[in-house]
Structure 1
Amino acid sequence: MSFPSETANQTYQAILEALNHLIEVVAKLRSPDGGCPWDLAQTPETLIPYVIEEAYEVVHAIKSEDPQAIAEELGDLLLQVVLQAQIASDQGHFSLKEVAEGITEKLIRRHPHVFGDLEVTDAEEVRQNWEKIKAEEKGETPEMPQLLSRQLNRYHRTLPPLMASSKISVKAAAAGFEWENVTGVWDKFTEELEEFKQALETEDTTHQQAELGDLLFTIINIARWYGLDASAALQGTNERFIQRLSKMEGFADRPLTEYTLDQLETLWQQAKKQLNH
């Protein structure tokens, strides 16, 4: 067995000191004696939006390929982990120690080809072993993880709705829940659109929500048929909208709320033309 070099040990020590400092700062923020009122008011539930937001900020930073931005956003996400653990510790449930020990043990257990004697040939075999070990941990038989409903429910529980729908669509199609050709998908879209319109006119909000969901799911299926990423498409639209709005504000000589709808349309077209999209 090889041992870490002196330089590596110094690096580990510096990392541990930085993490300890962060833990101490968060503990102080949560302290009833001189802590921060906002941090003291937080619960695991109130912090959920921040966990999601910070995770997306990390993704955005990674896509920007800016190391400084990535490091900063990873720090914000790490804060959410430490803060959740601190709140749990305050409530007597668990601490960051249990969080770190749990994930470490899981990594060792699910990598027997690294920490044990198992031999593998490629990444696909690693993935298969991972899924097998994961199933055994949950007391499942080899057949149980293959149940389509279990796979789809995992996407539903753990992913943002748009991403989950895309995953569900792909898995369901692979299992045979698929149209014979793209014409069938477009027919389904027309059907769902009409049902949504009817619901808006005659049904209650619950039914309207259901029909809207059906329509959105069909659009995601259309995207899949044409090899398009629904999440990326919507993200691109959001970015273009904001860019055009920013241009409009640059053209305007007063707040946009003081313009008529026709005037806003003129500014919108100017912005669209200048941005060339």
Structure 2
Amino acid sequence: MGNGADAVARLDELTRKLRRECPWDREQDERSIVPHTVGEAYELAAAAHSGDDSKLVDELGDVLFQVHFLSLLLEERGTGSLEQVAEHVHAKLVHRHPHIFGSAVADDAGQVLQNWDQIKKGEAGREPGIFGDVPENLPGPLYALKTQRRAASTGFDFDHVPYDGVTGELEELEEAQTREERFHEVGDVLFAAINVARKLKVDPELALRASADRFQERVEAAEEIANRDGHQWEALDTEAQLGYYARARTLLGK
């Protein structure tokens, strides 16, 4: 096993060299880089769910490079550095774990999270209000999830998994008559489904993406089966397409 500090130092040296000598890297600022950072974070999340550790190592490296590059931009402006980033998160983690570094008690993960939320509220720079620090530019599912978590941190939460909330909102959606009512009720159905995911400790963003990926795989497999039978997928009626889709699901086993 090599020296981790030496490896990080080599990455830091490489980041600085790219910033000096690569025309593309020289042109970047935090606003142009952060979309790549977000993309790398999603790729990291996908790798974590894939069960492929080599892919996880690869994607962790990409995220680590993003941290180095963005920290270097702060250093160039004299407003921060990688060292300051590391020291800041170190201090923050110590502060938010008083059950490890202080006298607080947390017997389970739920108590840890409750303490964490209460500590965050008292930290400098936090926006006031229950939802003050919920970023508005999050993807919809994550925005809803963060909103629900903030409410739950005040004690406003179910003590059970609210499956009935989803069924209730679906019934209201079925009864909706106008476009405005349908818009409202669709939002409520999605919000209720995300609340169920939260209570089950399932990330709704990743779960939805995984479902979309499975759907793509099934439709592509159904098209392939239809082509082998001598049919053009687009020329089939819906009933026939559904039949091939069912065969594809059986074939794929998921």
Q: Which residue of 2 aligns with 1:256?
A: none
Q: 3-state SS of the aligned residue for 1:30?
A: helix
Give the partner amino acid of 2:75: S
Aligned counterparts of 2:54 and 2:105: Cα–Cα separation in 1: 36
Q: Which residue of 1 aligns with 2:33?
A: 47
Give the partner amino acid of 2:139: P
Q: Please, which of 87, 95, 105 is the counterpart of residue 120 of structure 1?
A: 105
CA-to-partner distance for each residue in 1:224-272, whole Å, 9 max, x for gaps?
687786545532431123213543675698xxxxx68325976785355
TM-score (norm 1): 0.66
Give the partner amino acid of 1:20: A
User: Structure 1 residue 194: deviation in Å?
Assistant: 2.6
Q: Please, which of 230, 253, 261 is the counterpart of residue 234 of structure 2?
A: 261
| 8 Å Cα contact 2:223-2:244 kept in structure 1 | no
User: Structure 1 residue 82: deviation in Å?
Assistant: 0.8
Greater RCO structure (CA 8 Å; 6+ sep): 2
Q: Which residue of 2 aligns with 1:242?
A: 216
Give the partner amino acid of 2:92: K
Higher deviation after alignment, 47-56 or 21-30: 47-56
Give the partner amino acid of 1:162: P
| 8 Å Cα contact 2:148-2:195 kept in structure 1 | no
Q: Which residue of 1 aligns with 2:63?
A: 77
Q: 3-state SS of the aligned residue for 2:215?
A: helix
Aligned counterparts of 2:168 and 2:98: Cα–Cα separation in 1: 47
Per the alignment, do residues 187 and 102 of structure 1 end up closer, same or farther by CA in structure 2, a change over 3 Å counting? same
Per the alignment, do residues 58 and 95 of structure 1 end up closer, same or farther by CA in structure 2, a change over 3 Å counting? same
User: Structure 1 residue 127: deviation in Å?
Assistant: 3.8
CA-to-partner distance for each residue in 1:17-73, whole Å, 9 max, x for gaps?
100110111111110xxx222222222112222222211222221222222111111
Q: Which residue of 2 aligns with 1:161?
A: 140
Q: Please, which of 153, 163, 169 is the counterpart of residue 185 of structure 1?
A: 169
Aligned counterparts of 2:36 and 2:177: Cα–Cα separation in 1: 34
Aligned counterparts of 2:100 and 2:166: Cα–Cα separation in 1: 46
Q: Which residue of 2 aligns with 1:195?
A: 179
Per the alignment, do residues 223 and 137 of structure 1 end up closer, same or farther by CA in structure 2, a change over 3 Å counting? closer
Larger CA Rg, structure 1 vs 2: 1
Per the alignment, do residues 133 and 260 of structure 1 end up closer, same or farther by CA in structure 2, a change over 3 Å counting? closer
Give the partner amino acid of 1:195: R
State the percentage of identical aligned residues.
Answer: 30
User: Structure 1 residue 89: deviation in Å?
Assistant: 2.0
Per the alignment, do residues 233 and 122 of structure 1 end up closer, same or farther by CA in structure 2, a change over 3 Å counting? closer
Aligned pairs, number: 235
User: Structure 1 residue 92: deviation in Å?
Assistant: 3.0
Q: RMSD between aligned alpha carbons?
A: 4.0
Determine if the alignment matches structure 1 residue 59 to structure 2 residue 45: yes
Superposed, 1:19-38 pairs within 5 Å as 19-31=8-20, 35-38=21-24
